[in-house]
Structure 1
Amino acid sequence: MGDEVTVWMDASPDEVWDLVSDVTRIGEFSPETFEGKWTRGSTGPEVGASFAGHVKRNGVGPTYWSPCQVTACEPGKVFEFAVGTDAVTVNNWGYRLTPRKGGTDVTEYFRLEGNLAMRAYWLVLGPLRSRTNRKGMRTTLERMKAVVEGTSQ
């Protein structure tokens, strides 16, 4: 119950890290999350830090804020966060950075939690949502690539 997309970027893991771990810049890259802000006194990436993403699902419909908490934070390697409340995690999103050929393979991934409601959701809407998520992850990574490689307009 998840998926991932990898894009190679002509940049070091540390350069890419600065983009994937700065939640305040997500609006520059994501087709669905158009802004992000640190919350609950958090000011930057570290395990346990809280932030919220302002989302417009599929770019249409009403907007909502998704509370998130950083669950893995290794500079230059991985940035992962849980989406949901303090009591219930709906899914996890993250970025893995792997040095390769003088640049970095950047993998964006998501993983749904295994509760019964999510399993039912994935059984019914999984194929459609997975395509949408894959397209969104590719768009996000390609936009990051343009910025980190200095080719954005």
Structure 2
Amino acid sequence: MRIPRFPEPAAVGTAAVRATPAEAYRVVSDPPTMVRFAAETYRARWLDGATTAAVGARFLGYNRNGPRRWVTTCRITDAQPGRRFAYEVEATPLRIPISRWQYDIEPADGGCVITETSWLRVPLWFIPFAVAVTGVRDRAGANDAHIRTTLDRVRTHLEAAPA
């Protein structure tokens, strides 16, 4: 199967956070923790005995939009503590490529800056099925809004956490 590559991100957001890059990484690289901050994902479960972020580790993401529910399989592609966490998403159980999500963390005065980026990888023929399953017609716009929500919640969490 040919996997389309969309070189331009579909959505990008940044947040300056009063936390160390290591603290930010611990949160964004833990999918079961991140569901507390996500707009669409409500549960994540490690697969194949994994318990922490490592390249090649996989997890299931359980997502919702109103009454609609769907599951994705995610494979970690980047796990650089304090710097970058990324994973690629497939529609389960069909193994159709959907997207790539990436968190880049840069040190900054008083903490760090987290940049969350998503790329769409879904084949054009699959888009009508994705819309039917998720109810989302403008995936790039939805991801943009979700990134803002997620980063705001992550910032609030990290800045409220004891040092």
Q: Which has the higher helix share?
A: 1
Q: Deviations over 1:55-100 (max 9, x none)?
A: 003xx12212211100111000000001016954221011100111
Q: Which of residues 151, 157, 160 in structure 2 aligns to 1:141? A: 151
Looking at structure 2, the residues matched to 130 and 90 of structure 1 have their Cα atoms a distance apart, in angstroms, of: 12
In the alignment, does 2:88 pair up with 1:78?
no
Looking at structure 2, the residues matched to 89 and 130 of structure 1 have their Cα atoms a distance apart, in angstroms, of: 15
Provide runs of 4+ in structure 1 moved above 4 Å: 118-121
Looking at structure 1, the residues matched to 21 and 137 of structure 2 have their Cα atoms a distance apart, in angstroms, of: 31
Looking at structure 1, the residues matched to 115 and 63 of structure 2 have their Cα atoms a distance apart, in angstroms, of: 21
**Which runs of no fewer than 5 residues in structure 2 stay unpaired?**
1-5, 130-135
Q: Cα gap change, 1:56/1:119 in structure 2, threshold over 3 Å: closer, same or farther?
A: closer
Aligned residues: 145
Query: 1:33: which partner in 2?
Result: 41
Q: Which of residues 12, 21, 28 in structure 2 aligns to 1:4? A: 12
Percent identity over the alignment is 28
Q: Which of residues 18, 22, 27 in structure 1 aligns to 2:26? A: 18
Q: For structure 1, which segment, 67-76 or 105-114, has the greater mean C-alpha deviation from structure 2 after superposition?
A: 105-114
Q: Deviations over 1:95-118 (max 9, x none)?
A: 100111221110111011274436
Q: TM-score, normalised by structure 1?
A: 0.84
Q: Cα gap change, 1:14/1:108 in structure 2, threshold over 3 Å: closer, same or farther?
A: same
Looking at structure 2, the residues matched to 70 and 79 of structure 1 have their Cα atoms a distance apart, in angstroms, of: 8
In the alignment, does 2:141 pair up with 1:131?
yes
Question: What are the residue-to-residue correspondences of 1:33-72 with 2, within 5 Å?
Answer: 33-57=41-65, 60-72=66-78
Q: Deviations over 1:100-137 (max 9, x none)?
A: 1221110111011274436899xxxx993222211111
Contact 1:82 1:92 in 2 (8 A): yes
Q: TM-score, normalised by structure 2?
A: 0.80
Looking at structure 2, the residues matched to 119 and 37 of structure 1 have their Cα atoms a distance apart, in angstroms, of: 26
Partner of 2:54: helix, strand, or coil?
Answer: coil
Report the alpha carbon displacement of residue 54 of structure 1 after superposing the two structures with TM: 0.7
Letter in 1 for 2:80: E
**Which runs of no fewer than 5 residues in structure 1 stay unpaired?**
none
Q: Which of residues 105, 110, 113 in structure 2 aligns to 1:102? A: 110
